[in-house]
């Protein structure tokens, strides 16, 4: 279902880690780098991809600290305190920034001051060894989270058509990766073009490799430079500026009209690869006789993991949404690129909403800009122009799906590098970080009640049939505590058990991160009642968002406990400002009133005593006409504007 957009009723105090710039290093048991970074940003911290003088904290594992990794060396050089993950746990628990002293891995390091404004005493981490000096060409401006290497030994793929054997992509002393992918889409000229530029090194020989042409074709290419770093660097930066209109150090700036757009890639999307031992032939020989790990999960949970992490379904989804995964694979897709895509759509939505300003040329220009930022696969077909809100919503769905699928791809990448001897399905499940996932007995009252709610809340206009395969009682770690600590636990209560549907490929992100709300960059016009979490009392309304045809006919549906507050903001027609309007009137949710809805409601404790006080439709009485005057919706929609209002309760695996 359309998701997303937190609006706040009143100005709030700064979050606990506001002003902190935090780097992470090492592998943390039971969680992923992306999940850890999400926790940090939710507390107001910014994520540092490398440790610099502006970094206020480094969270590391003891193993990583003792091995004197690249980041711990940098922490010593910049007097940055190195703390354990328990420091973050305590900050979350207390809702405030706690003293670092008890959590230091580096004995003698004093706590960092907020905003890094005060000087930090040095830690006892051994100093980083001096590095061989390279000619300093230029110092990079701040760029996205993925363009800097986290390890000097990281291997960046050379363009597949490059003939230079034994060369590697050059990484300078600051960790900047000299690898540029540029894209330009022009619907009017019926083309989508790429320009690839890499600075390559082999010993003391430096070359700049360029390739250009239509997306999906080899195109033309050239090798530039006579062998010196200075000349190769000059060629690289010249070509980049010629094509993009931007200096290399300003590559993350807004793309220039009529020029190629820089596509930021993430080279380390989920885990730190630094100081990892390469698995060579000897290690492979040792593993040949190792007994395969046994899966400890029950059969229903095994089947669920196989569904959520099915690579074929990822490919089908990206193909259905016309995303070019060959040009920018999920594992290389950066959050910055997704944000730029949302921003491009937001600018386009402003033009579409203002018909007087919607000149054909401007709409085409902004469409070209979006398709240049987010690679699409159109083949020889003419790239489309996003001329209306339906086309806009399809692209919003793509970006939302990419955000969720990126999380799942990161878990898969982490799993592939984990040689702990744990079965891959166990590792996938652990990566979700769930507090509970219990498959229900098909004969239990809990299962039967939910099955009836599903099958008896189908809209007459929805041609859908269900075959329930499994129902899981679920709980996301920290979600209940988040609600209890929020203002929503104290308001006039109106808790309801409602449906939410999404693509199977989105559930790695949904279960690990929770249902989220669209970012500020997203256009509000893509959401009927503003940015929020969209829920329904008719299962088939939510099922329409599952796109089961891209996942082998199987869908996943959520039952969510949502605190909507009493009263709700009631609307019979679309309003992009519904969220702001609700807050202005002291309300926390919107009820999009449909012409058909439940005839009766009952207490959800009939499913489980833990749901006492939460209501759900009484499907023993069929849904009927609501007699709402002026209703333009067929069915009800409920929109929560804060993630803390919603708790995931049940997950259904259904054949459709």
Q: Looking at residue 15, which CATH number applies to its domain? A: 3.40.50.10190
- Reported confidence tier of residue 357, pLDDT bands at 50, 70, 90: low
pLDDT at 353: 74
Of 644, 533, 631, 540, which is closest to residue 578 (Cα–Cα)?
533
Residue 280 resides in a domain = no
State whether 300 and 204 are in the same domain. no
Residue 299 resides in a domain = yes
Listed in order, strand segments (DSSP E) in 341-491 are 434-439, 467-476
Q: 51 and 14 in contact (C-beta within 8 Å)?
A: no
pLDDT at 86: 84
- The whole-angstrom separation of Cα 22 and Cα 55 is 6
User: At residue 499, does pLDDT exceed 90?
Assistant: yes
- Reported confidence tier of residue 153, pLDDT bands at 50, 70, 90: low
Helix or strand (DSSP H, E) at 239: helix 229-244
Catalytic residue among 90, 92, 100, 637: 637
State whether 372 and 430 are in the same domain. no
Residue 200 resides in a domain = yes
Q: Please, is 127 exposed, middle or buried when counting C-beta atoms within 10 Å of its C-beta (0-12, 13-18, 19+)?
A: exposed
User: Span 467-490, mean pLDDT?
Assistant: 97
Q: Please, is 217 exposed, middle or buried when counting C-beta atoms within 10 Å of its C-beta (0-12, 13-18, 19+)?
A: exposed
- The whole-angstrom separation of Cα 495 and Cα 562 is 5
| Cross-strand pairs, 104 | 83
Residue 275 resides in a domain = no
- Domain limits for position 328: 293-419
User: At residue 107, does pLDDT exceed 50?
Assistant: no
State whether 10 and 136 are in the same domain. no
Residue 281 resides in a domain = no
Can you read off the two tokens belonging to residue 95? 């809702």
Is the whole model's pTM more than 0.75, yes or no? Answer: no
**Between 277 and 550, where is the model more confident?**
550
Q: 207 and 232 in contact (C-beta within 8 Å)?
A: yes
Domain boundary among 358, 387, 419: 419
User: Span 167-193, mean pLDDT?
Assistant: 85
- The whole-angstrom separation of Cα 154 and Cα 168 is 10
State whether 370 and 226 are in the same domain. no
User: At residue 135, does pLDDT exceed 80?
Assistant: no
- Reported confidence tier of residue 8, pLDDT bands at 50, 70, 90: very low
User: At residue 115, does pLDDT exceed 60?
Assistant: no
Question: In the chain, how long is the greatest CA-to-CA distance?
Answer: 81
pLDDT at 151: 60
Domain boundary among 90, 116, 142: 116
pLDDT at 71: 86
- What letter does residue 307 receive in the DSSP assignment? H
Can you read off the two tokens belonging to residue 238? 């010249």
**Between 332 and 297, where is the model more confident?**
297
Residue 558 resides in a domain = yes
- The whole-angstrom separation of Cα 635 and Cα 622 is 14
Write out pLDDT tens, residues 593-625: 999 999 999 999 999 999 999 999 999 999 999
pLDDT at 123: 34
Q: Please, is 567 exposed, middle or buried when counting C-beta atoms within 10 Å of its C-beta (0-12, 13-18, 19+)?
A: middle
Write out pLDDT tens, residues 621-639: 999 999 999 999 999 999 9
The domain total for the chain is: 4
User: Span 242-271, mean pLDDT?
Assistant: 81
User: Span 389-413, mean pLDDT?
Assistant: 89
Is 132 a catalytic site residue?
no
State whether 446 and 385 are in the same domain. no
pLDDT at 580: 95
User: At residue 181, does pLDDT exceed 60?
Assistant: yes
Of 598, 374, 419, 633, which is closest to residue 496 (Cα–Cα)?
598
User: Span 144-162, mean pLDDT?
Assistant: 70
**Between 289 and 515, where is the model more confident?**
515
- Reported confidence tier of residue 383, pLDDT bands at 50, 70, 90: confident
| Cross-strand pairs, 533 | 3, 640
Backbone angles phi, psi at 4, to 5 degrees: 110, 145
Highest mean predicted confidence (pLDDT) among 238-252, 285-299, 365-379, 487-501: 487-501
Sheet holding 624-625, edge to edge: 624-625, 594-597, 633-635
Residue 273 resides in a domain = no
User: Span 46-52, mean pLDDT?
Assistant: 86
Question: Beta strand pairing status for 179-186 and 191-202?
Answer: antiparallel
Q: 640 and 535 in contact (C-beta within 8 Å)?
A: yes
Domain boundary among 208, 235, 268: 268
Residue 118 vs residues 55, 72, 81, 111, 123: alpha-carbon distances, Å:
12, 20, 13, 10, 15
State whether 232 and 374 are in the same domain. no
State whether 408 and 449 are in the same domain. no
State whether 457 and 412 are in the same domain. no
Q: 536 and 634 in contact (C-beta within 8 Å)?
A: no
User: Span 575-589, mean pLDDT?
Assistant: 96
State whether 567 and 636 are in the same domain. yes
State whether 532 and 639 are in the same domain. yes
Question: Beta strand pairing status for 57-60 and 82-83?
Answer: parallel
User: Span 582-595, mean pLDDT?
Assistant: 97
**CATH assignment of the domain containing 396:** 1.20.142.10
Number of other residues whose CB lies within 10 A of the CB of residue 58: 31
- Reported confidence tier of residue 417, pLDDT bands at 50, 70, 90: low
Q: 84 and 59 in contact (C-beta within 8 Å)?
A: yes
Which residue has 């931007």 as its token pair?
A: 246
- Reported confidence tier of residue 187, pLDDT bands at 50, 70, 90: confident
pLDDT at 453: 98
**CATH assignment of the domain containing 552:** 3.90.228.10
pLDDT at 149: 67
User: Span 575-595, mean pLDDT?
Assistant: 96
User: At residue 251, does pLDDT exceed 80?
Assistant: yes
pLDDT at 332: 80
State whether 112 and 187 are in the same domain. no
User: At residue 125, does pLDDT exceed 50?
Assistant: no
Left (φ > 0), alpha (ψ -120 to 50) or beta: where does 553 sit?
left
pLDDT at 48: 87
Q: What does 467-514 look like in DSSP terms, one character per residue? A: EEEEEEEEEETTHHHHHHHSGGGSS---EEEEEEEE-GGGHHHHHHH-
Residue 277 resides in a domain = no
- The whole-angstrom separation of Cα 67 and Cα 105 is 12
pLDDT at 10: 44
pLDDT at 129: 33
Can you read off the two tokens belonging to residue 503? 């693509």
Q: 582 and 510 in contact (C-beta within 8 Å)?
A: no
pLDDT at 52: 86
User: At residue 186, does pLDDT exceed 90?
Assistant: no
> For the chain, what is the mean pLDDT?
84
User: Span 109-134, mean pLDDT?
Assistant: 35
Q: Could you give the angle at the alpha carbon of 148 between the alpha carbons of 147 and 150, nearest 5°?
A: 130
Which residue has 């699928």 as its token pair?
A: 405
State whether 111 and 232 are in the same domain. no
């Amino acid at each position: 279902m359309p998701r997303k957009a937190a609006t706040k009723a009143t100005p709030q105090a700064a979050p606990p880690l506001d002003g902190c710039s935090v780097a992470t290093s090492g592998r943390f048991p039971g969680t992923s780098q992306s999940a850890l970074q999400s926790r940090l940003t939710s507390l107001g911290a910014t994520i540092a991809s490398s440790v610099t003088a502006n970094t206020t904290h480094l969270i590391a594992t003891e193993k990583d600290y003792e091995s004197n990794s690249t980041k711990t060396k940098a922490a010593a050089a910049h007097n940055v305190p190195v703390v354990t993950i328990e420091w973050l746990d305590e900050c979350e628990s207390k809702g405030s920034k706690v003293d670092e002293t008890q959590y230091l891995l580096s004995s003698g390091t004093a706590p960092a001051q907020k905003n890094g404004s005060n000087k930090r005493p040095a830690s006892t981490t051994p100093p980083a060894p001096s590095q061989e000096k390279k000619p300093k060409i230029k110092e990079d401006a701040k760029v996205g989270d993925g363009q800097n290497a986290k390890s000097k030994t990281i291997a960046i793929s050379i363009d597949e058509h490059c003939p230079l054997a034994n060369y590697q992509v050059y990484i300078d002393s600051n960790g900047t990766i000299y690898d540029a992918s540029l894209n330009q889409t022009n619907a009017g000229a019926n083309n989508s073009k790429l320009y690839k530029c890499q600075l390559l090194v082999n010993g003391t020989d430096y070359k700049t490799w360029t390739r250009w042409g239509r997306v999906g074709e080899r195109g033309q290419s050239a090798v530039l430079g006579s062998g010196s770093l200075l000349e190769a660097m000059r060629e690289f930066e010249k070509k980049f500026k010629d094509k993009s209109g931007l200096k290399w150090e300003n590559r993350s700036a807004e793309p220039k009209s009529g020029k190629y757009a820089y596509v930021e890639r993430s080279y380390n999307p989920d885990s730190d690869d630094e100081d990892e031992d390469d698995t060579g032939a000897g290690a492979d020989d040792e593993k040949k006789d190792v007994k395969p790990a046994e899966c400890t999960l029950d059969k229903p949970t095994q089947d669920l993991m196989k569904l959520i992490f099915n690579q074929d379904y990822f490919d089908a989804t990206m193909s259905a949404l016309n995303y070019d995964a060959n040009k920018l694979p999920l594992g290389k897709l950066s959050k910055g690129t997704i944000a730029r895509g949302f921003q491009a759509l937001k600018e386009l939505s402003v033009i579409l909403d203002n018909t007087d300003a919607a000149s054909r040329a401007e709409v085409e220009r902004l469409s070209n800009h979006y398709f240049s930022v987010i690679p699409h696969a159109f083949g020889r077909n003419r790239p489309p122009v996003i001329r209306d809100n339906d086309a806009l919503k399809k692209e919003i769905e793509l970006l939302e799906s990419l955000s969720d699928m990126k999380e799942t791809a990161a878990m898969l990448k982490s799993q592939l590098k984990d040689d702990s001897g744990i079965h891959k399905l166990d590792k996938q499940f652990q990566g979700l970080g769930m507090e509970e996932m219990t498959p229900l007995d098909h004969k239990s009252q809990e299962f039967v009640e939910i099955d009836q709610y599903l099958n008896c809340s189908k809209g007459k206009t929805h041609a859908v049939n269900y075959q329930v395969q499994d129902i899981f009682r679920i709980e996301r770690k920290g979600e209940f505590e988040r609600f209890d600590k929020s203002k929503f636990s104290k308001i006039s209560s109106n808790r309801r058990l409602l449906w939410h549907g999404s693509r199977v490929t989105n559930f790695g992100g949904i279960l690990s991160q929770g249902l989220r709300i669209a970012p500020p960059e997203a256009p509000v016009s893509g959401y009927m009642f503003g940015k929020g979490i969209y829920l329904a009392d008719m299962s088939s309304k939510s099922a329409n968002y599952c796109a089961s045809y891209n996942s082998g006919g199987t869908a996943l549906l959520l039952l969510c406990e949502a605190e909507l507050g009493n009263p709700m903001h009631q609307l019979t027609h679309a309003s992009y400002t519904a969220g702001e309007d609700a807050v202005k009137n002291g309300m926390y949710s919107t009820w999009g009133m449909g012409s058909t809805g439940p005839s009766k409601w009952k207490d959800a404790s009939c499913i489980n005593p833990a749901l006492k006080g939460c209501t759900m439709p009484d499907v023993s009485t069929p849904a009927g006409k609501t007699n709402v005057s002026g209703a333009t919706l067929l069915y009800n929609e409920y929109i929560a504007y804060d993630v803390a209002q919603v708790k995931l309760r049940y997950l259904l695996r259904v054949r459709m």
